Amino acid sequence: MIENEYRQERGILVGINLNNDPTFDLSMKELKELARACHIEVVCIHSQKLSSPNSALCIGSGKLQEIKEDIVLFEATTVIFDNTLSPVQVRNLSRELNAVILDRTSLILRIFEERAKTGEAKMQVELAKYQYMLPRLVGLRDNLSRQGGASGALSNKGAGEKKLELDRRRIEKHINELKQQLAQLELNKATMRKKRSLSSLSQVALVGYTNAGKSTILNALVSRFSQDESKLVLEKDMLFATLETKVRQIAPPGRKPFLLSDTVGFIDKLPHQLIKAFRSTLQEVREADLLLHVVDYSDPDMTEHLRVTQETLQELSAAHIPMLYIYNKIDKAEAPAVSRQTGNRLYISAKSEEGVVALLNAIEEALSASDKEVTLLLPFSQGHILSLLAREAQILSTEYTPEGTLLTVRGSAAVIDRHLCYQIES
């Protein structure tokens, strides 16, 4: 029998439980899913309880020997640590284990690098990768020679140190170039967002833990009110299936249309470099009128996922935005939802479209909560404003007077505020 030329990468997971961390088991479970998302077959898992990591190897010598034996036994090529590793630890572990060494951050960066499709996403991931590498250059060089005795800017440095400094300069230059290119792209996106805001359409953003079903909800709404399948986005039962923000207009018959954004999912210990690099992508979150916080109702760890998402929203300065909590995947939950809606909490199944109508009602009600009701007196010469308000707001009453058209109008602040110069006391 001819052996298949392609063989999936085999990996061993290693976790250090520091001071009996109550979230340790969840973190290791998530690490396994991250490995799967990176096409790595997990062949075994090691854990060790420590008060602090070993400065040289992160783990103890006994655990190191166990991992060595399992590398041979399972023919593993990669060892993935849930803890952040220092450059020295990576170097020492690589020597001792003769395997590829990854920590949680480098694994997530690897996933993002593989999933990035658009030019902007690729640049964002590349920027995050180099920002992660830059402070870690020291320790990654195995053979830094000792300093020489000559004087001058570089002449008293050994060959390895010269190479290190040149690498640092090259990376810093590349980081600056990437920042400039992303800044230009952000200007272009800001112009597009400004055009969307002038359209008076409310902006709603899907946020939540990765793989909670945000893309499925977007597709459920798009397919329900559009015949254009090209508007559908990728949905997959996998961490970080979506990296690029997708914006779609949802226009239900007889209801106010709105813009719906699908954003990159959050995760515990999401590398700070990625949050910084993807900050422009997540601008859709900060500028939303309403957030739909999607939670996987079937996941036993949903409470922890709620906490992580709230903390990430705080970091993005978006925690103040009105929010609906969407508990998705009720069809997969062991305990069925008692009620389909409780206050600002809805229980739905985007896959079967159960609760989608209730979701639309809740979105409409939430968006209308900030609506303004005013009385305007429009001169007859401003008939175009009357036509505009008829399209973008709700005209509650109309009266024609000698001075002009007297209107009572209810609509979003974005629409009403543009015409407050015609407001009169009701």
Q: Is 0.85 surpassed by the pTM of this model?
A: no
User: Do the beta carbons of residue 129 and residue 102 sit within 8 Å?
Assistant: no
**Res 350: pLDDT:** 93
**Res 284: pLDDT:** 77
In 3D, which of 224, 204, 200 has the Cα closest to residue 214? Answer: 204
Reduce the DSSP state of residue 398 to 3 states and report it. Answer: strand
Q: Exposed, middle or buried: residue 98 (CB in 10 Å: 0-12, 13-18, 19+)?
A: exposed
pLDDT in tens, 20-30: 999 899 999 99
Residue ranges of the chain whose pLDDT lies below 50: 1-6, 142-156
Query: Which residues share a beta bridge with 246?
Result: 262
Report the distance separating Cα 123 and Cα 282, nearest Å.
Answer: 15
Q: Which residues of 155-180 are buried (b: 16+ CB within 10 A; e: fewer)?
A: eebeeebebbeeeeeebeeebeebee
Query: What is the chain's mean pLDDT, rounded?
Result: 85
**Res 79: pLDDT:** 97
- The dihedrals phi and psi of 131, each to the nearest 5 degrees, come to -65, -30
Left (φ > 0), alpha (ψ -120 to 50) or beta: where does 398 sit? beta
The tokens describing 140, both together, are 């990654």
Report the distance separating Cα 32 and Cα 82, nearest Å.
Answer: 10
To 5 degrees, how large is the angle CA 300–CA 303–CA 304? 95
Binning the chain into helix, strand and coil, the percentages to the nearest 5 are: 45, 20, 35
The sign one gets for the Cα dihedral 178, 179, 180, 181 is positive
**Res 143: pLDDT:** 40
AA letter at 392: E
**Res 46: pLDDT:** 97
Q: How would you classify the pairing of strands 100-103 and 78-81?
A: parallel
**Res 265: pLDDT:** 87
Q: What is the DSSP letter of 99?
A: S
pLDDT in tens, 348-405: 999 999 999 999 999 999 988 878 899 999 999 998 998 888 877 878 899 999 999 9
